[in-house]
Each structure stands twice: as structure tokens, then as C-alpha cells.
Amino acid sequence: MIAPSSVKPIARPPYLYSYFLLAGIIVHVALPFKIFENFWIGLAIGLPLICVGALFVVSAVRTFQKDHVDPRFKPVGTIVDKGLFGYSRNPMYLAFTVVYSGIALAVNSFWPFILLPIVLGVMHYGVIRREERYLEELFHDEYRAYRSRVRRWL
């Protein structure tokens, strides 16, 4: 059996994304690093991304709820492979990345994008890999089959 500490994510993903995004925005206030000369361009691109990402999060949470799975890192009783989970094993994390990028664009700051590879690295090793170990330990071949037919991100 896997030790609980090796399964538990090192941080809850919404907080992880939020902390790095906030850090990037704070650095931007001190040392502006604009993406676009005109602020409205970032808004025009960023706001739709925020909306799409938010819709993906809502859709993924509803899919979890339909299968009676708590999306807050609680033990699960089934593999959710419907809806967006039929296309990505991590649609909420993908959605968080889209929202994060949309906010960075909307505030016209390059700093959050500089931090994004760190966020994604922490997500990969500190969250996703731990979840995958947990699910494989819990569901064995059923999870391996799901993993072989559905990509991690896209």
C-alpha cells in the first residue's frame, strides 16, 4: 500500500496556481513587464480564456458530482472517464492553466508566464504523479487502461 504522504498533493492546485499568479502580479507592480503596449489587447484575449477555463472547471466538477466523486482530494470510489475526462485525465488542471494564462494576459503581465513552468513542474511532480500512483494502486488494470486511452493533458 502507498503511504498517505506520498499520495497527498503537496498543495491544492487552485491555491498553487493562485499563489504563483499573485506572485507574478506583485512582481509586475514593482517591475512592470508588459506583454502588449495597449492594455485592451490583453483584456480582449484574456477574458475569453478566463471564461473558457471557468466553464471547463464547472463542467469537470459537475462530471465528478454525477459520479459521486468529491473533487477536493478525497478518496475516490471510481475512475471518472466521462465528459472532459474522456479527453484529458486532468481537465481541471488544464482549465486552471487556461484561467491563469487568461488572467496574466488580462492584467498585461509577462511575469506570471515566467513563473508558469514552475507551476506546471510542481503540478506534474507534486500533484499529478502522486495522484496517478494513488489511482494505479487503487484501481490497478482499470486505471492503466484509462491511462493508455486518455492523455494526461491533451
pLDDT, tens digit, 9 for 90 and up, residues 53-82: 999 999 999 999 999 898 887 778 899 999
- Ranges of residues in the chain with a pLDDT under 50 are 4-5
Interval 46-58: pLDDT, tens: 999 999 999 999 9
Which pLDDT does position 54 carry in this prediction? 98
What is the predicted pLDDT for the residue at 2? 53
pTM over 0.85: yes
Q: Within 13 Å and on the Cβ side, how many CA atoms surround 58?
A: 6
pLDDT at 6: 58
CA distance between the termini of the chain: 30
Kindly list the distances between the CA atom of residue 22 and the CA atoms of 73, 142, 153, in Å, as whole numbers in the listed order.
23, 39, 24
Domain boundaries, the chain: 20-149
* Angular region, 68: left φ>0, alpha ψ -120 to 50, beta rest: left
C-alpha distance from residue 99 to each of 21, 78, 139 (Å): 10, 27, 31
What is the phi/psi pair of residue 8, to 5°?
Answer: -65, 130
**pLDDT on residue 55:** 98
